[in-house]
């Protein structure tokens, strides 16, 4: 352990307090709660494809290997 608090979101890439990853009766999810909400909104509009496109476009902002 490095002693750093928080966890990096696998969508937005930002390190945030672990509380941001505990929701929906589960803890330490891969996405922060705000990304999860945005992904669900995309899913409601366009289903699985839109949700995936949302995740990939978000990751493309901070990942160079996308
Ligand atoms: Zn996030």
- Tell me how far the alpha carbon of residue 45 lies from the centroid of ligand 1, in angstroms: 19
Q: Which residues surround ligand 1, an ion (CB under 5 A)?
A: 9, 11-12, 32, 35
24 dihedral zone (left: phi>0; alpha: psi -120 to 50; beta)? left
Token duo for residue 48: 């699985």
Residue whose structure tokens are 């901070």: 62
CA angle 33, 40, 53 (to 5 degrees): 105
- For range 22-51, the mean pLDDT: 97
- Tell me how far the alpha carbon of residue 18 lies from the centroid of ligand 1, in angstroms: 12
- Tell me how far the alpha carbon of residue 58 lies from the centroid of ligand 1, in angstroms: 9
Q: Is residue 2 within 8 Å of 15, Cβ to Cβ?
A: no
- Tell me how far the alpha carbon of residue 44 lies from the centroid of ligand 1, in angstroms: 18
Note the pLDDT of residue 5: 78
- For range 2-15, the mean pLDDT: 85
Share of the chain above pLDDT 70, in %: 91
Supply the pTM of this predicted model. 0.84
CA distances 22 to 44, 45, 66, Å, are 22, 25, 27
């Amino acid at each position: 352990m490095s002693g750093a608090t928080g966890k990096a979101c696998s969508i937005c890439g930002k390190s945030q307090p672990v509380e941001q990853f505990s929701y929906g009766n589960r803890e330490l999810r891969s996405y922060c709660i705000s990304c999860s909400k945005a992904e669900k909104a995309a899913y409601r509009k366009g289903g699985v494809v839109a949700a995936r496109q949302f995740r990939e476009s978000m990751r493309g902002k901070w990942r160079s290997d996308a």
